[in-house]
Amino acid sequence: MMKLSHSPASPYARKVMACAIARGIEARIETVATNPHTSPAGLLAVNPLSKVPALVGEDGVSYFDSPVICEYLDTVGDAPPLLPPAGAARLRALRQQAFADVIMDAAVGRRGESLRPKEDARDAVMARQAAAVARSVDLLEAEVDHLSGPLTLGTIAVAVALGYLDFRVAADAWRTGHPRLATWYESVAKHRALAETMPVG
């Protein structure tokens, strides 16, 4: 049995669980709700950086950072891989995941800054993060045709990132000006891997 330290509101943890569900291996994962900000001993034993998600695999090895965890999960079970083995398709999925992770990094960082006392420097950081998200969403709209087809690690990551924007910065209304991306998202969000991992908290 694998053990996943996670936070219910973390988009990175959601990406990991969505990949597990897409591969049909979620029953092989025990989830442990964890607050990384308190650096609990159980988490530090798995990830000395005190970040979630962190996974202890069936091989007994601890994996952390969601791209690494998802790549490990892609080796578990018999389902077709979410990450194509080589060539242009693999690079496309990795590139999509990178864009999604940039969106998540910026949105999570912006969320953290919003909880701090108001000051000009904080506002400048938040504005920079919001601009990075806006440019990334623009690019996804332009490349939306590459998101179609069976789920990959890249498309799962993109859907999770857009879902996190809805969850934490809904007022930004990312769908405005991005009709094709919005249509794609509404369709993919119905997949069990995404519908059952909606963020809470």
| Integer Cα distance of 43 and 53 in angstroms | 9
Task: Please say whether the dihedral angle defined by the alpha carbons of residues 85, 151, 134 and 114, taken in this order, is positive or negative.
Answer: negative
Gyration radius (Cα) of the chain, Å = 17
Q: 153-168 vs 120-142: helix axis angle to the nearest 10?
A: 140
pLDDT at 201: 66
Q: How far apart are the first and last CA of the chain?
A: 26
As a dihedral over the C-alpha atoms of residue 152, residue 89, residue 104, residue 182, rounded to 10 degrees, the angle is -70
pLDDT at 113: 80
Q: Which two tokens stand for residue 144?
A: 């939306």
% of residues, the chain, pLDDT over 70: 100
List pLDDT tens digits, range 71-86.
999 999 999 999 999 8
Residue 63 phi/psi, 5° resolution?
A: -120, 135
pLDDT at 143 over 70: yes
| C-alpha dist (Å) from residue 147 to 3, 98, 139, 150 | 30, 14, 12, 9
List pLDDT tens digits, range 162-186.
999 999 999 999 999 999 999 999 9
Position 33 confidence tier, pLDDT thresholds 50, 70, 90: very high
More confident call, 201 vs 166: 166
pLDDT at 56: 98
Number of Cβ within 10 Å of residue 162's Cβ equals 26
pLDDT at 116 over 80: no
Position 118 confidence tier, pLDDT thresholds 50, 70, 90: confident
Tell me if 45 sits within 8 A of 38, measured CB to CB. Answer: no
Paired sense of beta strands 2-6 and 29-33, if any: parallel
| Integer Cα distance of 84 and 170 in angstroms | 32
Arithmetic mean of pLDDT, 94-123: 89
Position 194 confidence tier, pLDDT thresholds 50, 70, 90: very high
Arithmetic mean of pLDDT, 45-63: 96
More confident call, 164 vs 114: 164
